[in-house]
Amino acid sequence: MRIIAIIPAYNEEKTIGGVLEVLGQVPRIEEVIVVNDGSTDQTAQVVAQYSAVTLVNLDENRGKGGAIQAGLDRSRADVVLFLDADLIGLRTDHVEQLLDPVTNNDTVMSIGLFENGRVATDLAQKVAPYLSGQRAVRRDVLEAVDDLDISRFGVEVAITRLVEARNLPVREVFLDDLTHVTKEEKLGVFKGFAARMKMYWEIVRYYARIDSPK
Ligand SMILES: O=c1ccn([C@@H]2O[C@H](COP(=O)(O)OP(=O)(O)O)[C@@H](O)[C@H]2O)c(=O)[nH]1
Ligand SMILES: O=C(O)[C@@H](COP(=O)(O)O)O[C@H]1O[C@H](CO)[C@@H](O)[C@H](O)[C@H]1O
């Protein structure tokens, strides 16, 4: 069974190194692919310091779904681990927790939920667990999702919805002491809030598209 990790990254120079350090300590992940989604900061330069990591540079920002599709297009795998590039507190046991239920064939997808990380980020995932970017997913499931490449922030909802529509088993796992940097922390209160609204809009737009007749 070939296991890979795909990390979509847009302006994550401050945190992506920490994620890659941890992934480098998990031998059963055969390839780590970072898709630099048109970043304007030093994300690509930071990733290039990790010689074992495959760096895919996109000239223009395609959104999270587009970045993930670009990673899938360049890979061959049975199971894909997805992690966001802005995680704080990631450990190898979190990675194993996400992988185990899928590699043991107990489920086709795991979803990782923050626990005891920070109140705000724990709560956000309690309210909307299906938005989490931390997952392990069987590749055949990913291939069945329509329009992943244009889904932008609709990507998690798209995958979750397909799994639910087919009545496939999903496993939620709790990732202790893990959190991420929020949009407001990255961009400041106003730009962060605007980015959050844009994210919700991208999710709704993807929904509307797949619900209307083609
Ligand atoms: O256009 C984008 C927006 C986000 N991301 C990446 O997708 C992940 C989740 O995005 P973000 O952290 O902004 O979402 P949040 O967790 O704040 O909702 C991160 O690794 C981002 O760098 C991306 O590749 N392209
Ligand atoms: O938890 C949430 O409400 C959002 C917003 O997180 P921030 O606190 O704005 O960083 O984050 C998630 O949603 C996105 C859409 O599904 C995912 O792509 C992110 O990985 C996930 O962190």
CATH of the domain at 163: 3.90.550.10
Q: Is residue 145 part of a domain?
A: yes
Distance 64 CA to ligand 1 centre (A): 6
Ramachandran angles phi, psi of 55, nearest 5°:
-105, 120
Tokens of 132: 């989490």
Query: Residue 214: what pLDDT?
Result: 47
Query: Residue 10: what pLDDT?
Result: 98
Tokens of 214: 């083609």
Which structural domain, as residue segments, surrounds residue 8? 3-181
Whether 202 is in the pocket of ligand 1, judged by its Cβ within 6 Å, is: no
Query: Residue 208: what pLDDT?
Result: 82
DSSP state, residue 8: E
Maximum Cα–Cα distance for the chain, whole Å? Answer: 46
For strand 135-138 and strand 79-82, is the pairing parallel, antiparallel, or unpaired?
Answer: antiparallel
Query: Residue 11: what pLDDT?
Result: 98
ipTM field: 0.94
Distance 128 CA to ligand 1 centre (A): 16
- Is the model's pLDDT at 210 over the cut of 80? no
For the chain, percent of residues with pLDDT exceeding 90 = 87
Mean pLDDT of 162-178: 95
Q: Is residue 210 part of a domain?
A: no
Q: Is residue 119 part of a domain?
A: yes
pLDDT tens-digit series, residues 126-169 = 888 899 999 999 999 999 998 899 999 999 999 999 999 999 99
Please say whether the beta carbons of 32 and 52 come within 8 A. Answer: yes
- Is the model's pLDDT at 21 over the cut of 70? yes
| Closest C-alpha to ligand 2, atom 16 | 131
Whether 180 is in the pocket of ligand 1, judged by its Cβ within 6 Å, is: yes
- Is the model's pLDDT at 207 over the cut of 90? no
Q: Is residue 151 part of a domain?
A: yes
Q: Is residue 204 part of a domain?
A: no
DSSP state, residue 99: H
Query: Residue 212: what pLDDT?
Result: 58
Q: Is residue 187 part of a domain?
A: no
Enumerate residues 6+ apart whose C-beta is below 8 A from 19: 7, 83, 84, 85, 87, 90
Please say whether the beta carbons of 125 and 114 come within 8 A. Answer: yes
Query: Residue 122: what pLDDT?
Result: 85
Distance 9 CA to ligand 1 centre (A): 6
Distance between CA 100 and CA 87 in Å, rounded? 20
Q: Is residue 63 part of a domain?
A: yes
Please say whether the beta carbons of 176 and 95 come within 8 A. Answer: no
DSSP state, residue 104: T
Tokens of 82: 């997805």
10 alpha carbon, closest ligand: 1
Atom of ligand 1 nearest to the CA of 67: 24
Q: Is residue 35 part of a domain?
A: yes
Distance 48 CA to ligand 1 centre (A): 19
DSSP state, residue 202: H
How many domains does the chain divide into? 1
Query: Residue 211: what pLDDT?
Result: 63
pLDDT tens-digit series, residues 35-66 = 999 999 999 999 999 999 999 999 999 999 99
